[in-house]
């Protein structure tokens, strides 16, 4: 959706048509691989969420077909922050309180958008740092 929003502005600046082609799958891993393996002729650009497009984040699940050295970010477009939230009346008011509780109470349930999503990767990183 973001690429389609900026395409008309790029067309105006570049004085040529921009074709937006969605390549769903793998939280940007598929699209990132297309950019990483494209002929470097200036005609293939990627509009990717930077963190998910970094293939090393997928080492939790699989060996990615390319590395972050194969891509160069040239312009930030948006900045979407991830936020860990709890119910207002929860016993935790800080991240430190939450982490201390989670360490003392293994098996806590959390909700994310699913495997490979930014929230899930964040929680996997918490788990990795704990060990």
Q: What is the pLDDT of residues 49-75, one digit of tens each?
A: 665 556 776 666 677 888 888 888 888
87-130 pLDDT, tens digit per residue, is 899 999 998 898 888 888 888 887 777 776 777 777 777 777 76
Provide the phi-psi class of 68: left if phi over 0, else alpha when psi is between -120 and 50, else beta.
Answer: alpha
Query: Of the candidates 34, 46, 27, 3, which has an alpha carbon nearest to the alpha carbon of residue 122?
Result: 27
Is the whole-model pTM more than 0.85? no
Rounded to an integer, what distance in angstroms lies between the CA atom of residue 57 and that of residue 116?
Answer: 9
């Amino acid at each position: 959706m973001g690429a389609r929003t900026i395409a008309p502005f790029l067309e105006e600046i570049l004085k040529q048509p921009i074709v937006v082609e969605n390549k769903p799958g793998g939280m940007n891993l598929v699209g990132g691989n297309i950019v990483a393996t494209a002929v470097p002729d200036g005609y293939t650009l990627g509009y990717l969420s930077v963190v998910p497009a970094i293939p090393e984040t997928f080492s939790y699940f699989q060996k990615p077909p390319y590395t972050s050295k194969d891509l160069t970010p040239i312009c930030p477009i948006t900045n979407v922050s991830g936020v860990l939230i709890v119910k207002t009346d929860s016993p935790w008011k800080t991240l430190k309180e939450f982490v201390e509780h989670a360490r003392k109470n293994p098996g806590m349930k959390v909700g994310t958008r699913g495997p490979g999503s930014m929230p899930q990767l964040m929680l996997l990183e918490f788990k990795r740092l704990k060990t």
